Amino acid sequence: MTTITAIRRTGCGTPFRQPGALNLHVAVPCPLKVRLQAALGAFIDDYNRRHSQPIYCPSILDGEPHGIDELMQRSQHIDELPEIWVSIGLHTAFSQPFKQRFLDSGLYQGVTHPDALRQLPAELRRAAERHNLGFLAFGFWQLVCDLSLCPQGPYPRQWADLLDPAFHQQIAMHGCDGHIGGMTLLQLIRDQHGDDAVLALAHNLAAVRHFSQLIKGLGSADPRRVAFNLMPGAAANQIPSHKPAALIELQEGPLLSPLLLFIKADLPVAQREAVLEFLWGDAFRSVLQAGDFHFVDQMDWQRRYSFPDWDRLAASDYNAQSEALGARFIAALPPGAMTV
């Protein structure tokens, strides 16, 4: 008797994976999707001309297919998942039971380039080994100042200054599709200063808007623009040169945004080799640099960087943590601040 398995599809209708293919899923920040499609599409076209087993990648069909995280998290068996998975988000890698089923079990293997692993600071190397993470590259969350509103300051000097009532209604944060973009920042604030600190940050926010709106408002007549704007580096990198904007370097350093790499542990070396050459190569490096993402060997590890407690993130379900933290944060926002 033949068992018929339903084809799982993304929200855009694209098949989630293709049986018999080498399935590759790559998720990058929105500003990099077009560049990713061009570079990845060229690599896959060349690879598929020379190999009998093709690479299948929904990322070059839909950019980043909607619903991919949900499909990953609902998977019950490793055969339902892509052979190679690159992810910008922590929602799936640190969600339960996905993490227990596929990462803690070792069915997925976090892969960091051997040279890069040696270059990582001890804290990140320990996180990679303890939690089975593969670090491919790093981006940052940045604090962008609208110089037309506060040319003389005062400016925040550390992340904790964002909680100071002196900056009430002077801060905006990137958000998309009704979600808080800076969830990692909320977790960092909570880890360092307690649960009430998240409420203090919410009270200081004037708006949660898409980064494109934050950038458009810089130096404009937009009545909703504010002095300080929290956004991913991939977005900050797109600010036109004529805008009166500057990055503020905080004492603890930028907030890291890791790009993670996982490969099925049983995938033969011969099948992973060419994809790894691409992911570790100059073409993908160029894509990432356009969005202020950098390979490990490009990072200045003498600088300080910020990130929430890795062990705390891994100890419980990331999505449950984020939902509870986000709901508390949103409830504390001033009326009308949440516009995404």
121 and 268 both lie in a single domain: yes
Nearest to 111 by CA among 99, 93, 129, 98: 129
Buried b or exposed e, range 43-64, using 16+ CB within 10 angstroms: bbeebeeeeeeebbbbbbebbb
| 179 located within any domain | yes
210 and 265 both lie in a single domain: no
Question: What is the per-residue pLDDT for 162?
Answer: 94
| 9 located within any domain | no
Question: What is the per-residue pLDDT for 91?
Answer: 86
Mean pLDDT, to the nearest integer, of 119-134? 95
| 204 located within any domain | yes
Predicted confidence (pLDDT) at residue 5 exceeds the cutoff of 50: no
Query: How many angstroms separate the CA atoms of 198 and 163, rounded?
Result: 8
Predicted confidence (pLDDT) at residue 299 exceeds the cutoff of 80: yes
Q: How confident is the model at residue 10 (pLDDT cuts 50, 70, 90)?
A: low
111 and 155 both lie in a single domain: no
167 and 58 both lie in a single domain: no
pLDDT above 90 covers a percentage of the chain that reads 66
Across the strands, what pairs with 85? Answer: 25, 262
Across the strands, what pairs with 109? Answer: 263
CA 151 to chain CA mean position, Å: 31
Predicted confidence (pLDDT) at residue 131 exceeds the cutoff of 70: yes
Q: How confident is the model at residue 128 (pLDDT cuts 50, 70, 90)?
A: very high
Q: State how many domains the chain has.
A: 2
| 317 located within any domain | no
Question: What is the per-residue pLDDT for 338?
Answer: 77
Predicted confidence (pLDDT) at residue 62 exceeds the cutoff of 70: no
Mean pLDDT, to the nearest integer, of 49-64? 82
CATH number for the domain spanning 200: value is: 3.40.190.10
Question: What is the per-residue pLDDT for 339?
Answer: 74
| 8 located within any domain | no
pLDDT above 70 covers a percentage of the chain that reads 93
Predicted confidence (pLDDT) at residue 6 exceeds the cutoff of 70: no
What is the domain extent for residue 223? 142-254+322-332
72 and 123 both lie in a single domain: yes
Residues with Cβ within 8 Å of residue 42, at least 6 apart in sequence: 283
| 16 located within any domain | no
166 and 248 both lie in a single domain: yes
| 313 located within any domain | no
Question: What is the per-residue pLDDT for 1?
Answer: 30
169 and 89 both lie in a single domain: no
62 and 94 both lie in a single domain: yes
241 and 301 both lie in a single domain: no
Q: How confident is the model at residue 195 (pLDDT cuts 50, 70, 90)?
A: confident
229 and 327 both lie in a single domain: yes
Question: What is the per-residue pLDDT for 11?
Answer: 53
Query: How many angstroms separate the CA atoms of 136 and 128, rounded?
Result: 11
| 202 located within any domain | yes
pTM of the model: 0.90
Mean pLDDT, to the nearest integer, of 160-179? 89
Q: How confident is the model at residue 180 (pLDDT cuts 50, 70, 90)?
A: confident
Record the tokens describing residue 104, joined without a space: 């803690």
202 and 148 both lie in a single domain: yes
In tens, the pLDDT along 264-285 reads: 999 999 999 999 999 999 999 9
247 and 265 both lie in a single domain: no
